Structures are given as C-alpha cells and as structure tokens.
Structure 1
C-alpha cells in the first residue's frame, strides 16, 4: 500500500478520540475509519480494498494505541 495512504490512516487514528475508537465494535471501527479516510482522501477501488484489509488486520494495534492514550 502507498506510504502516503498509510501515513494518512495512522494520522487519522492518532487524531480520533480514544474513547470513540474503543466504543466501536470491529465492523464499526473499520467502517468509521474507511468513511473518515475517504471523505478526506478520495481513493480508487483497489486502494479502498487494500485499505479495508489493512485496517482489518490492524484492529488489535489500533485498539492498543487508543487504550494507551
């Protein structure tokens, strides 16, 4: 995946309220991150698919980061 997209995603995770991220179930977390990402940075279908799978794989890390703040 494009390094710029990765930086944008992790910046989005960093800016999000920890309590909000932790309150969402896995599907809600993926959906919210995807929606927020696409509003800020339109991407094509291939990138959308890659991002979706990447977020799914990183849910435990996203939750750990949110919990540590």
Structure 2
C-alpha cells in the first residue's frame, strides 16, 4: 500500500468516534472506513479500493484494540 494512503487511512481512523469503530461488525467497519477514505481524500482512485479493503481486513483487530484503548484512557 502506498505510504500516503496508509497515513491518510490512520488519520481517518483516529478522527472517528470510538463508539462508531466498536459498534460496526468487521465487514461494516472495513466498508465504513474505506468509504470515508475514498470520499474524504480526492487523490485516491478506485483502483486502490481492493488493496485498501485487504489491508483494512487484516487490521480490524488492531483498529478495535486502538479504539478500546481510547475508550479506557
């Protein structure tokens, strides 16, 4: 995955409320984050979507762990 895309993705993850990240099921979370990134970052094209979905699917547990950490802090 392109470094710029990765930075933008994690910025989007940090900007979303913890309750939203924890409320969605895995597929819903992947789709929600990918859609937010695709609409919020005009430099990203549709060809990046499959790679983005795969990366997000692999990082769902990490995203949930980070969200849980924010809710405790």
Q: How many residues align?
A: 69
Q: 1:37 aligns to what?
A: 37
Runs of at least 5 residues in structure 2 that lack an aligned partner in the other structure:
none
Q: 1:22 aligns to what?
A: 22
* CA–CA separation in structure 1 for the residues paired with 2:14 and 2:49: 20
Matches within 5 A, 1:1-69: 1-42=1-42, 43-69=44-70
TM-score (norm 1): 0.93
Q: Find runs of 4+ consecutive structure 1 residues off by over 3 angstroms.
A: none
Runs of at least 5 residues in structure 1 that lack an aligned partner in the other structure:
none
Aligned residues: CA RMSD: 0.9
- Residues 4-38 of structure 1: CA distance to partner in whole angstroms, max 9, x if unpaired? 00000000001110011000000110110011000
Indicate the structure (1 or 2) with the bigger Cα radius of gyration.
2
